Amino acid sequence: GITDQGQKLTMHKDNEEDPYITLRDPDDSDDDEAVIKSSDFVLLAGITDQEYSSVEVHVYDKSKSSIYVHHDFVLPSFPLSAAYISTDADGKGGDSNFVAVGTFEPGIEIWNLDIVNAMEPTACLGGREA
């Protein structure tokens, strides 16, 4: 077994207590970047390449002096206008981040920026009857 050679197996509650682990768990910056904080600045970029149109959500983190693409979402046609909306949608004091996007299609799409990889807008104002 494990103790046959006169050695003891030492268990530690976590890696911080283990003296043989010299590389500590690095801060997982991906978790920090997953949430748009109220201190972050949001930059929206409408992108069109031939038949493909999208909006890229860039986040500027002032405390780290870094800017990165948070995520993007596909649009049905060429983007014409965008308006950022920050609101307390759930009534619990937390900020919710939305964008209203106008395209060549009838209707204005409302996208929730806090949802990564959203397949469709949260709401659509106006538009065609189905």
Q: pTM of this prediction?
A: 0.69
Q: What does the pLDDT look like over 99-108, one tens digit per residue?
A: 999 999 999 9
pLDDT per position as a tens digit, 61-109: 888 888 999 999 999 999 999 999 888 766 666 678 899 999 999 999 9
Confidence of residue 25 (pLDDT cuts 50, 70, 90): low
DSSP state of 85: E
| Cα separation values, 20 from 10, 28, 38, 43, 68, Å | 11, 22, 40, 45, 36
- Is pLDDT at 27 greater than 60 in this prediction? no
Residue 53 · residue 61 · CB < 8 Å: no
